[in-house]
Chains A and B, each alone.
Chain A
Amino acid sequence: MALNTQPNLHEPGKRHFRAFSPGDDFYEALIETHRELTDEQSAMVNARLILLLANHIGDISVLREAMQIAREGA
């Protein structure tokens, strides 16, 4: 499976009437996860988050593709 770069966010049981809502729901939750953390704590949260999500995705070829794109923009 290739890396999906189309908008893909959704939430079971929640009805979105506007196309921008699921992405904005996620982004707010992401920033909220870092609220009142130091930069060092935030870096640790991000690392833990990536590890959790990588395991959830499972397919290492997808992860390699994402890691390569992420590194290109550093």
Chain B
Amino acid sequence: MTLTVPALRARRVRRNRRGPVAVVGAAVFLAVVVVAAVAAPLLAPYSPDATSLLDSLLPPGSPGHLLGTDSTGRDVLSRLLYGARLSLLAPLGVVLASTVLGVAVGLVAARGPRWADLLLSRTMDIAFAFPSLLLAMLAVAVFGAGLAAPMVALSIAYTPFVGRVVRSLAVQEGSRAYVESYAVMGFSTTWVTLRHLLPNLAPALAAQAALAFGYALIDLATLSFLGLGVRPPESDWGSMIAQAQPAILQGLPASAIVPGVTVLLTVIAVNLLGEHLGSSVGRTDRERA
């Protein structure tokens, strides 16, 4: 009896590559971040913009300032909580917009007339040649700094990535016999695509969206860091890192490290969840076959 137990456990671990602990941890972490963003006014001990030059650059763990203060004496924890709002909302917007656009493009390419596929697929190929960050910077140069321009630019830049995935998934799903059986029953291609094909792609799309969220968060933080994203007095984690630059030069990097680590952990958590979603999709697929 004692011999069979470790054998069973080993098999289970091998099947769940990441292990449930990492996935649950990621989910809990993200939940905390979301709650922090929503409840920032209740949780933050200070106003995120309240400066106090006497208390500048306090290290983390200082009395009254759990995560320390930045170079103008603003409380890092409060800024982190408030910053979570734009840091999460902006990539969410990008992911929603690029997913809607990408699904539309991918489905038309996969299921529409051949000329539409040629047109859309070639356009996507060309779009891949533009680095998304460069496109976003270009949009900022044209439309001015602020969140709107880079969000629109990133949404457009991400669309071909979503579109290509949706197209290949939809082509694969469209070759399943049930799609033909619906055609024989008299249903239109559009109806079958939207009512049957798309819902069957949803889990894979959710996984894809989670990964895109991570990329968007990093890209938008990068733009804010470069001073091209959110503009003062609003702030996100990227602009917090940017404003901590002088402090880094003084040898006090804490106010940059805290938002930096938060970005890192958030992206890792989102990617873990996305990967988990993706692998469970693969599993049901195998069961189906």
Q: Do A and B bind each other?
A: no
The chain A residues found within 8 Å of chain B, CB to CB, are none
The chain B residues found within 8 Å of chain A, CB to CB, are none
